[in-house]
């Protein structure tokens, strides 16, 4: 049964939907890029000004927002605090943009690690209740909305037309200020899901630098399947990890445990320490991996059927680095 809403057919909306189906690359946030449409239809424009960049509407204003001094003040709540006189911890409640600005003077370049869990932009997660007048004015300028209690509420649905834009304008100034707080060997961890992980990585590449990207740590956040997903049950989230200056960051890893070492031994007293035998055969045939190896005694060792696990160049480099030929070759 068809329900009538009293409205005529939205021809413009239908046309945009048809264009999106034919040329998805020319539609973004519900709008049509007519210059790009001309190009995909064969009417090429002057591309002398083209360059790789990541931009969106309001990016310049977001940059200026990060550089505008805050007029706010942090006030201690000693009555609600624990061990105020000697604690080494600090809990701050307030608008995170204003707080980040206020922390610049005392903590610039002094923070070793930052973890943030920003809104994932799932539709209605842009909710920041705040009672500070300066922050509220900033919110009003950006969104023009307040709730019944005078608190700013800004929803960001896909029907908004600025779905990704609003989210990026919220994140950009905060990430710039967060980077300023990091020590040279500092690291930031950012939780996110599939909705904005691509945009988040692009904006972080710009702010921190592509060389400062360390990892996209994928982690399983639920054991239960999501039956409301249409195609795949996405039970994972991302933690994008960036450092401030890569050359200043020392390598970090977990210490090996007895459990890690249980399969290793050193029966021949190798000065390099514990070792274990392994399969040096290639799992798949590759002609370039089929070559003889010269043993320390001068004998030639023919390659296995599929070839060696490493290329000849890699083995030569290993020999130079380790100052010996391949040892302990075990073929089972």
Listed in order, the ranges of the chain carrying CATH 3.40.50.150 are 94-222+233-248
At 221 the pLDDT is 87
Beta-bridge partners for 219:
237
Predicted model pTM: 0.67
Kindly report which listed range (16-25, 112-121, 135-144) carries the lowest average pLDDT score. 135-144
SS3 255: coil
**Sign of the CA dihedral 272, 274, 277, 278?**
negative
| Residue 235 DSSP label | -
Nearest alpha carbon to residue 171 among 217, 140, 206, 147: 206
Strands (E) in 1-106, as ranges, are 27-28, 31-32
Q: Which H/E stretch holds residue 113?
A: strand 111-116
Residue 242 CB burial class (10 angstroms; 0-12, 13-18, ≥19):
buried
Q: Determine the Cα–Cα distance for residues 120 and 122; give it in Å rounded to an integer.
A: 6
pLDDT of 217-231, one tens digit each?
999 988 888 787 888
| Topology at the third CATH level for domain 94-222+233-248 | Rossmann fold (3.40.50)
Q: Which residues pair with 242 in a beta bridge?
A: 188, 213
Give the model's pLDDT for residue 154.
Answer: 54
Amino acid 277: pLDDT: 87
Pairing of strands 111-116, 182-192: parallel
pLDDT in tens, 126-161: 544 333 334 445 544 444 445 555 555 555 555 555
Kindly report the average pLDDT of the chain as a whole number: 81
Q: How far apart are the first and last CA of the chain?
A: 70
pLDDT tens by residue, 300-329: 999 999 999 999 988 888 776 664 444 444
- Taking residues 250-255, what's their average pLDDT? 87
H/E element holding 214? strand 213-220
């Amino acid at each position: 049964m068809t329900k009538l809403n009293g409205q005529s057919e939205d021809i413009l909306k239908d046309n945009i939907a048809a264009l999106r189906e034919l040329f998805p690359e020319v539609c973004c946030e519900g709008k049509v890029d007519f210059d790009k449409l001309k190009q995909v239809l064969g009417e090429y424009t002057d591309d002398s000004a083209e360059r790789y960049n990541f931009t969106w509407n309001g990016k310049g204003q977001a940059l200026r927002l990060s550089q505008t001094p805050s007029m706010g003040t942090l006030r201690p709540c000693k009555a609600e605090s624990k061990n105020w006189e000697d604690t080494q911890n600090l809990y701050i409640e307030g608008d995170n943009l204003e707080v980040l600005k206020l922390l610049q003077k005392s903590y610039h370049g002094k923070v070793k690690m930052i973890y943030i869990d920003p809104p994932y932009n799932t539709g209605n997660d842009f909710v920041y209740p705040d009672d500070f007048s300066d922050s509220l004015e900033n919110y009003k300028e950006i969104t023009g909305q307040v709730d019944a209690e005078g608190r700013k509420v800004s929803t960001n649905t896909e029907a908004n037309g600025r779905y990704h834009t609003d989210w990026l304008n919220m994140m950009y100034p905060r990430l710039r200020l967060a980077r300023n707080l990091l020590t040279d060997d500092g690291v930031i961890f950012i939780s996110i899901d599939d909705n904005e992980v691509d945009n988040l990585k692009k904006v972080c590449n710009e702010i921190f630098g592509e060389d400062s990207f360390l990892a996209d740590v994928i982690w399983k956040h639920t054991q239960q399947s999501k039956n409301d997903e249409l195609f795949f049950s996405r039970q994972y989230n991302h933690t994008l990890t960036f450092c401030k200056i890569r050359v200043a960051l020392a390598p970090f890893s977990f210490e090996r445990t007895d459990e890690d070492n249980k399969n290793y031994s050193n029966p021949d007293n190798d000065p390099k320490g514990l070792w274990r035998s392994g399969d040096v055969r290639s799992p798949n045939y590759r002609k370039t991996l089929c070559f003889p190896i010269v043993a320390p005694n001068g004998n030639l060792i023919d390659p296995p059927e599929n070839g060696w696990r490493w290329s000849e160049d890699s083995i030569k480099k290993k020999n130079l680095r380790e100052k010996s030929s391949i040892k302990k070759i075990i073929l089972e």
